[in-house]
Amino acid sequence: MRFIPLEKQLLFTDGYRRCFSVQNQHVLLINEKGKAYAINAFCPHKQWPLIEAPITDKVITCPKHLAQFDLETGELIAQCVSDTPKLNAYEVVYEGYHVGVFI
Ligand code: FES
């Protein structure tokens, strides 16, 4: 694994959300109330984009079928169907002037 810088810290402010393609993975970088998260940009159930998904108390809800995932761990909290897998969550790292992930 290595550090992949995604955004300048200066631009990574509250409410920030942006998708990046990193090593064949789609990473959604989020700043929610000053806390940084990085998750797979698509829901693991039916690949619905999560860029505009609502977030409440560190839980993101897929708008399509309402599966809910812990933003820090990707763990499934509430599922729409029994076979919904865990969401990929990445470690967010601040290095130099950038914020990024280890992939
Ligand atoms: S596509 Fe996200 S819950 Fe079904």
* Integer Cα distance of 6 and 46 in angstroms: 26
Q: What pLDDT is recorded for position 1?
A: 87
Q: What is the atom index within ligand 1 of the atom nearest the CA of 66?
A: 3
Q: What is the atom index within ligand 1 of the atom nearest the CA of 84?
A: 3
Domains of the chain: 3-102 (2.102.10.10)
* Integer Cα distance of 8 and 100 in angstroms: 9
Q: Which residues of the chain have pLDDT under 70?
A: none
Q: Which two tokens stand for residue 71?
A: 């933003």
Q: What pLDDT is recorded for position 83?
A: 81
Q: What is the atom index within ligand 1 of the atom nearest the CA of 62?
A: 2
State the distance from the centre of ligand 1 to the C-alpha of 97, rounded, in angstroms: 35
* Integer Cα distance of 96 and 94 in angstroms: 7
Q: What pLDDT is recorded for position 51?
A: 98
Residue nearest to atom 1 of ligand 1 (CA): 46
Q: What pLDDT is recorded for position 14?
A: 97
Q: What pLDDT is recorded for position 102?
A: 92
Q: Which two tokens stand for residue 18?
A: 């942006």
Which parts of 2-57 fold into alpha helices (H)? none
Evaluate whether 28 touches 18 at the Cβ level (below 8 Å). Answer: yes
Kindly state the DSSP code that residue 70 receives in the 8-state scheme. E
